[in-house]
Structure 1
Amino acid sequence: MPSLAARVAASPGAAGRGIAAAVTPDRLVLAGKAALAAMIAWLAARLLPGFLDDYAYYAPFGAVVAMMPSAVDSLRTSLYTFLGLGLGGGLAVLAYLSALPALATVPIVIVVAVLVAGLMPIGPGRDYVPVAAIFVLMSSGGDPEMFGTAYVALTAMGLVIGTVVHLAILPPLRTLPLERRLATLRAAAASLLDDVAAQLEDAEQPAVSLEERAAGLQRAVDDAQSALTDAQRTRRANVRAIGGRHTLSMSTVHMGELRATVRELVALASVVSDERTTVAVPDDLPAETRASLAEALRDLARAVDDHGGSDAIVDTCARAAEALRAWDAPSTAADAAAGALAHHLVALEQRIHGRPAEDA
């Protein structure tokens, strides 16, 4: 079996993408903030009086736990982690004070901790209940009250420090990845429109493989939707989002328009693609009708890619649709296919321009 180094060398593209994902600006900023928060938490814990400074290493742990991908995630994680640690530590102290034999205490604590964790929302807080319980119970050295207090209190202090640092220094606001994903989706839709137009104009052109292209478009839609959801999440509890500087309202509208556009585009391409079941289209269409339809599709491709349009595009699509409807088709199936092309063409134009396709 080849070594890990050999496999990485054999696939430099995948390795490069992995490294690029690990050193994005957001990740670099997050790494720097985590290091800063951990250092501050450690120094602050060392200044605490009494026995707490003996357990100062738990403060950096809490600071790092608080470093989540978004501001609201950081707040939620810190709160739930503190609750989970407190519940788990409390259960350990109660179990110790019950003076039960160790062989009975450990399984009882774990069972109760897991059941209590099930009452909490899904997340790290739930996971920390049994972890904190068994950790305090087994590592306290015979004094779970002191150890549990230090463990929970210092971790909580680290959580607070980490959250404050995270929110105060460039809290993540992922609007640029969303715009890139939307641009990628527009480019993919425009490319399919160009390819369908080329097939209509020239029968020698390779037929559009719709199954593969439709799957690629759907992946682009899913990626853009994921980026939109991520951008919306990073705006919450984020001071950088105050004042509407990084508004997502138009991006949300564009996402809805593009989703509808892709749906109509796939329906149109299915009539022209190599997987179509309808006969005689576009093969028997007159050359001038095919040229008019191809011109309309290329205009729509530019409108999608440039995110703009004009009345001229509306007129071009209307003329092409009228030519399709006026065609004296040689068969009922061909006539139905031409009607479907006309319908999807008008509907696609309306979707691209953000209008409901009610009269398509």
Structure 2
Amino acid sequence: MRQGRPAALTFLAHRPRIGLAFRTALAATLAWVIALALPGEIPDTYPYFAPLGAVVGCYSTVRSSVRNSARAVTAIVCGALLSVGTAELLGRDLVVIPVVVFLATLLAGWRFLDGQGSWVLTVGLFVLVVGVQHPVQYALGYTTLTLLGGCVAVAVNTLLPSLPVAQSRDALHTLARTLADQLDDLAEGLRRDDPPGPREWAQRLRSVAPVRESLRASRQETEESVSGNLRARRNLELVREQHVTGVALENVAVRVEELTELLVEALTPRDEEVALPTGLRGPTAEALAALAVVLRTQDGQEDRRPALWEAVRRLSAAETAAQFPTDRDRQAAGAVVTGLRRCLGALDVRDPESETSDDEAFVPTPWVRPDPPGSHGGLGRTGPGRWRARLRRSRR
């Protein structure tokens, strides 16, 4: 049993959808039970609106549950008021349906409602068609019981909050592996006597952008889950580390995309396009391979960053000593070296002897604690200023 429990927890940690499904089912059940226990004719007639509100309000984080529940309830109220008001003014003839649909469609575009705007049109039609016998009672039941369900969903998410650090860690590893694979492909192409042609390069290249966007979305969800999370205090340092690593990898991803485009163009020259000199291809491949090793071994015991620094230093020296037929060729080679130097800066790779970083290094954006000043959420009295100070790196 003791061995099975960590395995089960690990399984659930990497599958946050299971936790979300459990919280949604629990919130819907509780909302249904509470609605049936309430006195009055409205909860007795329309109890199913309570679990509907719970389903609408269940999201992966406490903040998103509050935000989307508020938007959904606002949209429902707008739809109910629009339908009842229009029916009172125009009567219940056929003409009222296109008028309500027209106005509800316009109102659904309200920026505040965001993704919940469709509820305006849905509720407006339901009040006209389904609640035709008792429109006011139906509208009250829809709005009040949906609000009840949304409150239950927020309460469940607050008591059983999620902190998807495992999912964010997986996204970090996926991006690092994707970048390393692409760098290895570039290095292998540079080492060949006959570089790949345009068609073969197209087959080798991998799109980094979707993986980078997936990491960004995962990191934002993790940082948002800190707000209102009663259990977040013990994981704040881990969230901070993931943020710093994520920013570094995103910066490296941008540089790798630039290097990929530049090297593919340089190795497949056409007409007067620039070409990378043969003498620089070996050092460039060595530097790319060293960067790939660093990306794959960030969590390992052995620090491979000094080897990356030396590889980039040798490439820079070779670029300085090389003879170029035109200034454009020199600029292209210099751009490759600059791109690798910026990868050093993003990964905070320093000269092992002087402990100074390259001039191309840049400081990642510091992380600001998601909770606003004065709010609660399990973070105590740690203010944003203190977090900025802890995350800020001195510009070198």
Q: TM-score range by the shorter chain?
A: 0.7 to 0.9
Any conservation in 2 of the 1:41–1:157 contact (CA below 8 Å)? yes
Q: Are 2:141 and 1:150 equivalent residues in the alignment?
A: yes
Q: Could you say if the C-alpha distance between residues 310 and 95 of structure 1 is closer, same or farther in structure 2, counting changes exceeding 3 Å?
A: closer
1:275 alignment partner AA? T
Out of 83-92 and 48-57, give the one that drifted further: 83-92
2:268 alignment partner AA? E
Q: Please list every run of 5 or more consecutive structure 1 residues that lacks an aligned counterpart in the other structure.
A: 1-23
Identity %, equivalent residues: 26
Q: Are 2:75 and 1:84 equivalent residues in the alignment?
A: yes
In structure 2, how many angstroms separate the alpha carbons of the residues matched to 1:302 and 1:33? 41
Any conservation in 2 of the 1:45–1:59 contact (CA below 8 Å)? yes
Aligned residue for 1:259? 250
2:360 alignment partner AA? E
List per-residue Cα deviations over 1:162-186 (Å, max 9, x = no partner): 22123322x3333322222222222
Q: Radius of gyration: which is bigger? A: 1
Q: Are 2:324 and 1:325 equivalent residues in the alignment?
A: no
1:358 alignment partner AA? E
Any conservation in 2 of the 1:197–1:293 contact (CA below 8 Å)? yes
What's the CA shift for 1:211? 4.5
Q: Could you say if the C-alpha distance between residues 213 and 73 of structure 1 is closer, same or farther in structure 2, counting changes exceeding 3 Å?
A: farther
Q: Report matched runs for 1:200-211 at 5 Å.
A: 200-203=190-193, 209-211=200-202
Q: Are 2:288 and 1:297 equivalent residues in the alignment?
A: yes
Q: Please list every run of 5 or more consecutive structure 2 residues that lacks an aligned counterpart in the other structure.
A: 1-13, 350-356, 363-396
TM-score between the two structures when normalised by the length of structure 1: 0.75
Any conservation in 1 of the 2:344–2:358 contact (CA below 8 Å)? no
List per-residue Cα deviations over 1:141-179 (Å, max 9, x = no partner): 53323232223222221221122123322x333332222
Any conservation in 2 of the 1:178–1:228 contact (CA below 8 Å)? yes
In structure 2, how many angstroms separate the alpha carbons of the residues matched to 1:115 and 1:339? 54
Higher helix share: 1
Any conservation in 2 of the 1:350–1:356 contact (CA below 8 Å)? yes
Q: Residue 18 of structure 2 is aligned with which of 6, 9, 28?
A: 28
Q: Report matched runs for 1:122-271 at 5 Å.
A: 122-123=113-114, 125-169=116-160, 171-203=161-193, 209-211=200-202, 213-242=204-233, 244-245=235-236, 247-269=238-260, 270-271=262-263
Q: Could you say if the C-alpha distance between residues 215 and 275 of structure 1 is closer, same or farther in structure 2, counting changes exceeding 3 Å?
A: farther
In structure 2, how many angstroms separate the alpha carbons of the residues matched to 1:178 and 1:234? 12
TM-score between the two structures when normalised by the length of structure 2: 0.69
In structure 2, how many angstroms separate the alpha carbons of the residues matched to 1:106 and 1:291? 72
What's the CA shift for 1:316? 3.7
In structure 2, how many angstroms separate the alpha carbons of the residues matched to 1:194 and 1:119? 48
Any conservation in 2 of the 1:304–1:352 contact (CA below 8 Å)? no
Aligned residue for 1:349? 344
What's the CA shift for 1:51? 0.9
Q: Could you say if the C-alpha distance between residues 335 and 79 of structure 1 is closer, same or farther in structure 2, counting changes exceeding 3 Å?
A: closer
In structure 2, how many angstroms separate the alpha carbons of the residues matched to 1:116 and 1:261? 43
Q: Are 2:349 and 1:358 equivalent residues in the alignment?
A: no
Aligned residue for 2:378? none
Name the Cα RMSD after superposition: 3.6
Paired residues, what number? 332
In structure 1, how many angstroms separate the alpha carbons of the residues matched to 2:119 and 2:210? 36
Aligned residue for 2:366? none
Out of 24-33 and 236-245, give the one that drifted further: 236-245
What's the CA shift for 1:66? 1.4
In structure 2, how many angstroms separate the alpha carbons of the residues matched to 1:359 and 1:72? 35
